[in-house]
Structure 1
């Protein structure tokens, strides 16, 4: 049985418990009663921290992106060329989407289409979070040009960052649909081509 956390940790505890539920079932299918039962907190505690289910969904997304962007910052700050850091980030993405650990799955793939039609605040949280991902990819492309690991010919950094993210997001969705990692492997090949890198190094 999960221990009930100290009072100051209750909000984060609810978010932590809810994340795998939403990742597995989606936003609409998860009721507040299910979240409260799993977190072992009363309804009053939930509404103390979240004014509505919509506000709760926004908070889940914000917490997800805070963790994700922090991990991304760590990966893109590793030693080596910027081109290698970009590849390492996408190798990590591939591993996270094909491994056995369900907790690593992409929440954007799971909730993106569903919640954008339900909630403007949740759509905006998704837009902010995905925008942060694209911005980091663009900065790494610029760093690659500066250190010589990426050629100028690869194009505008912002456009390339957005293209890479869109390719991988689409590949993750297709891999989920097909239960096959081939779309992600294809995305990795396409990433090397977009970056002007040899296919196998």
Structure 2
């Protein structure tokens, strides 16, 4: 029961945080959504910040596992894998009138100044994403599906920042146009036709 209750709390918080943000959500709202008494919360988490940190760590654990599955697709070259990832990003960030469910997009700026542990969890998660993008760029250069990059790490970082920014603009404008622009620029940077 301990692990199930903890997991239920983390899953509920991820869902609620992705819709409302971090500061706007009280612990009682999360507890009520899964029917857990307040006293039980502190059995699992020392504070709301510790809870937020655990939510971010769990979110990135699943995100990176999904990314790993995409990037290890058999029978596809690295360029196809990478563009499948970007297409998936666009699709998930275009949900609900461009109110996508990426916690890095939703919470990044909000919690970076509020909670050092949450900032560090975001940093670790986004670094993991850039690591995988760099691996894809290097793999693509190796299989000939992508051009060799002078600095694949810098290119991976720039592409991630491009897409993160495009997601924020999509939320502001309630339109996926910025992500369409990110797709076109990504294809140009990677010299894909």
RMSD: 1.5
SS at match of 1:34: helix
Counterpart CA distance in 2 for 1:37 and 1:181 is: 34
The match for 2:47 is 52
Structure 1: tracts of 5 or more residues without a match: 1-5
Counterpart CA distance in 1 for 2:61 and 2:81 is: 20
Distance change in 2, residues 1:179/1:102 (3 Å): closer
SS at match of 1:141: helix
List per-residue Cα deviations over 1:144-196 (Å, max 9, x = no partner): 011111122x4311011101100000000000000011000000001001111
In the TM superposition, residue 7 of structure 1 has moved relative to its aligned partner by: 3.7
Determine if the alignment matches structure 1 residue 167 to structure 2 residue 162: yes
Runs of 4+ in 1 over 2 A off after TM superposition: 99-104
Counterpart CA distance in 2 for 1:31 and 1:70 is: 29
Q: How does 1:7-156 map to 2 (within 5 A)?
A: 7-79=2-74, 80-100=76-96, 105-152=101-148, 154-156=149-151
Counterpart CA distance in 2 for 1:189 and 1:24 is: 28
Number of paired residues? 192
> What is the TM-score of this pair, normalised by structure 2?
0.95
In the TM superposition, residue 99 of structure 1 has moved relative to its aligned partner by: 3.2
Contact 1:57 1:122 in 2 (8 A): yes
SS at match of 1:180: coil
The match for 1:3 is none
The match for 2:180 is 185
Q: Higher relative CO (CA 8 A, sep ≥ 6), structure 1 or 2?
A: 2
